[in-house]
Amino acid sequence: MAFSDGRVCGLPANQVDHIEPGDDHSMANLRALCEWCHRHKSAQEGGTAAALTRVRTHRPKPTHPALED
């Protein structure tokens, strides 16, 4: 996953993300993300289908582990 400042997440992608949240499961709407990126994106979206499986008490860390100094 590429970040807004141009850096790219180097962690293994083991999650399938829906680029546009919803019921579109076509390949054009799917991409691979690492677990952290997927949680972070889902948390930002909020209130979508992803919320159904999210552990509500667990908040993603603000800094991606691959980008920590």
Residues that bind Zn ion (CB under 5 A): 9, 11, 34, 36-37
Q: What minimum distance in Å lies between the beta carbon of 37 and Zn ion?
A: 3
Task: List Cβ<8 Å contacts ≥24 apart for 62-67.
Answer: 64/3, 64/9, 64/11, 64/36, 64/37, 64/40, 65/11, 65/36, 66/9, 66/10, 66/11, 66/34, 66/36, 67/3, 67/7, 67/9
Q: Which residue has its beta carbon closest to Zn ion?
A: 9
- For Zn ion, which is the closer residue by CB, 11 or 29? 11
Q: What minimum distance in Å lies between the beta carbon of 24 and Zn ion?
A: 22
